[in-house]
Structure 1
């Protein structure tokens, strides 16, 4: 630990859920790519809101409504700073990354795509950044194309990207960090190349928002989506950043209260962004909790968090390579804080069940990457994913447990 590093052990104490036994063993939580745990500061912010400020927003003149509205819009401003957006109006609250991408697909996609147009994805995409585009392609006559991976390392082959972008591509939708391969894509460069060809860019930042600084102006993306629950915030809330000029021209995603300016029996005048895209009562408490989570992460520093992730995953990969016959996926250099692997003669689900009996929370399955798993020739992988509250001591204990389990399948 350098003099500039946070006291990781002290930060770990902010997470009450980690101080427990599972199946009689101390909990080792290595499923952070699925969801992160919540610090006491976020939990207390939620309790404080519900105990003192709970009311509906934008719809009342009484004090509680004013306080709730102020807290909700303050959260929007906090997100704008977190992403270095130009305006808070570029920040939409959604239910999560999935809804954010679906919103873009069903507004921009349906309005702009036509037969013969190409939607360019990568072979790394989570189903949330694949299935919505399949559905839009079926409705518009557009086609899908994919940037290929380069084997078990999972890095993408960009050698023909500019040539591809010049051939009828209208939209590039790509993940920042792969949730199964730990690849970190060069999104600023990709967005610049897309922009050069007049291609709209959509970034899936579900795995990066809580681990890396995100500057939407420097990245140059048109849209970017992530989920609160993966960055120490509450579940059921997400963020969609959209470039203001694009949001202003988009039709609504859903109809209802708040997204309107004036309603008549046969006609409705829609509200301006971001409210045009937030029909109904929003997840107000979730926004309050997300505000607290962002304050918490910014105090630590996401650059420091990513450095900690890389140190921990590097150590874990080094230990895993000691197992004969193991197949490890992802890049050898520059890996994000997760590792997917398969053990010889053992199904991932069986291994995950057995390590859970010893207190270790792993993810096993296709990780919403079924086409990728098919291409790699595996039905499922085990995935250990780390965050700043995880430790090398936990990695050592996990390796000891995994070693005992794998010998049962030898």
Structure 2
């Protein structure tokens, strides 16, 4: 959500920001709706004040025996009561129009976010790791997965396209990755582990900018709850409506959960394999902090996600997204793209975003700086640390052997019960 006072004071700057994000100038429309709402509010307040004054004067007039004056005042009060619903309805309608418009507008990009239309305009910031020199032609994970326990056919038979059934050591390796990520983020990187619900209400989805714009991208139950697209939703919304103590240190939360996405609009993309699923798992990172700390926290969070890839010795690159490729609620985003030798390409495995006060305004989450009377909105950040399924794909492709087996990375040995290699099953 946007600061209406900022828009009133800086309409040209706001329009320029929306234009950078591929939208149309809307500041004039916003200011006009805001003026309409404020006028109606003023009319209601003035009417209420005059009604109270007139009601009090009726008693005084009756006490003085001035019936004519009392009757005139009664008529005025009746007229005020009759006219008030008109202005109250006008205020409600203008406020609804204004809020609906603001709720559908993306966040203002940070100044250092590059211009651009799509992923082709993203900027590579850093590259880490050595790509393995294979003595054979590496295969894609979908080509070696079936013999190792990655069952696409059963998943599809049970649930339809973009569902997968994992078996045996493949399922164990998937679990090991999630456990390792959680241990790394909690023991080494200072995040507090949480176990949130995966069903949430409209308020949680709205506050984290998933509604109203992206309703079709999520699954909704028959009783109106939403299956979370990421645990960013419940973790961030856990502070909704609160005035928290000044967070001199950022509040850092993490969770490993199931996630669900309808993948609306992605027809034909990554339909083969385990890359883009309707049901998947992620270890999410969320931070709540003061505005002055959010840029440093963004860099730190991205580094925490990178630490998983480095521990697994998976080559990757860090990319700064351009305005055209950035998520709706983000003001700045880094993507981490892992190298997949079977595809011969880098693929996104983590996206770490600073949303500034965009989500906090929608959730009405504030803090009170020490020594100050007024509250301020916090800043919220979120990132993947990491997407478990995509990390499994990266391990399979980077650690594959010519016989179709996959070596288990050393850091996962404590989680694998002595299994050091996934062997093909006939």
TM bucket, shorter chain: under 0.3
Higher relative contact order (CA 8 A, sep 6+): 1
Largest Rg, 1 or 2: 2
Q: TM-score with structure 2 length normalisation?
A: 0.22
Q: TM-score with structure 1 length normalisation?
A: 0.23
